[in-house]
Amino acid sequence: MILEALNYLASLPVTASMHRGFVRGSVNLWSRARRCASDWAEHERHCHDAVRAEVAGLRQRRTVVVLGSGLLRDVPVEELSRQFDTVVLVDLVHLASVRLWLRAKGFKNVRLIERDISGFDAVVAGKEPEPLAFLRQVPYLDLVVSANVLSQIGIGAGRKSEAAGLPQAVVPRLIAAHLEGLSALPAYVCLLTDIGFRVVDRTGKLHQEADLLHGIAPPAETARWSWPVIPTGEASRDYQVVHTVIASRMQPAPKAADRADAKHGDRA
């Protein structure tokens, strides 16, 4: 508890006031990740392998953006720092422990951006959500990694919608907006996302399951695996919560000139 308290207190002053309410949840996740390191290791290996496979196919490695960088467990940050000119980490909160680790490693090309990428505020304001529009302003963007943040957007939007008295239809709308934003980028995309969860007991009997993408179909997957987010013994002696995770590869959106050429070709 002492380490958690220190991380929480150290993270507050380096977090924007509008996002400080999320610090405690991030610290709780950091604490669970430390306790469940062995149970999460295979999931993290699959995530790293998916990112490595995407990087291996790139002709240029100038800028990579990681959405939902979190605790830096889902992406091989050290490798990305060596392979790209610039690494941009985007999340609501960058804990003091994460900042300290980055500083200790001496990365000169890693940038932190604190940003809400859910699009929820736009919906509340009656606007069409374009939560990833800011990425169009990132120069020399070659790769974007959406690192297990898509389902979290849905979970957060669900809670906020309920609190604000908004219809739950907001949730699939924001999940779709994230995927649409990724597909519109002029860069390759590696999508890592949990798509559903199930609660099972020690005998393997299923007690509950849910679709974390609320009916929105993800892109074709290149890999699929299970992630024991809450292993047996973490919250219950008898049950565990297992998420199904996929990796997907998305091609860069055609440039305007390419689209015009394609149109012209169709008419010819």
pTM recorded for the entire structure: 0.92
Is the residue at 265 inside a domain? no
Per-residue pLDDT of the chain (268 residues; tens, 9 = 90+): 899 999 999 999 999 999 999 999 999 999 999 999 999 999 999 999 999 999 999 999 999 999 999 999 999 999 999 999 999 999 999 999 999 999 999 999 999 999 999 999 999 888 999 999 999 889 999 999 999 999 999 999 999 988 888 888 999 999 999 999 999 999 999 999 999 999 999 999 999 999 999 999 999 999 999 999 999 999 999 999 999 999 999 999 887 434 434 443 443 3
Q: In this predicted structure, what is the pLDDT of residue 258?
A: 47
Does residue 191 belong to any structural domain of this protein?
yes
Instruction: Evaluate whether residue 139 is within a structural domain.
Output: yes
Residue 36 lies in a domain: yes
Q: Is residue 73 a part of any domain in this protein?
A: yes
Q: Is 266 domain-assigned?
A: no
Q: For helices 2-11 and 23-35, give the axis angle rounded to 10 degrees.
A: 140
Whether 157 and 144 have beta carbons less than 8 Å apart is answered as no
Residue 100 has what pLDDT? 97
pLDDT of residue 165: 85
The domain tally of the chain equals 1
Quote the domain boundaries for residue 40.
Answer: 2-253
Q: Is residue 211 part of a domain?
A: yes
With b meaning 16 or more CB within 10 Å and e meaning fewer, what string describes 159-192?
ebbeeeebeeebbbbbbbbbbebbeebebbbbbb
The answer to whether position 263 is within a domain reads: no
Between the two ends of the chain, the Cα-to-Cα distance in Å is 69
**H or E element: which one contains 137?**
none
Q: Report the CATH number at residue 16.
A: 3.40.50
pLDDT score, position 141: 97
pLDDT at 61: 97
Give CA angle at 18 (163, 132), nearest 5°: 85
pLDDT at 46: 98
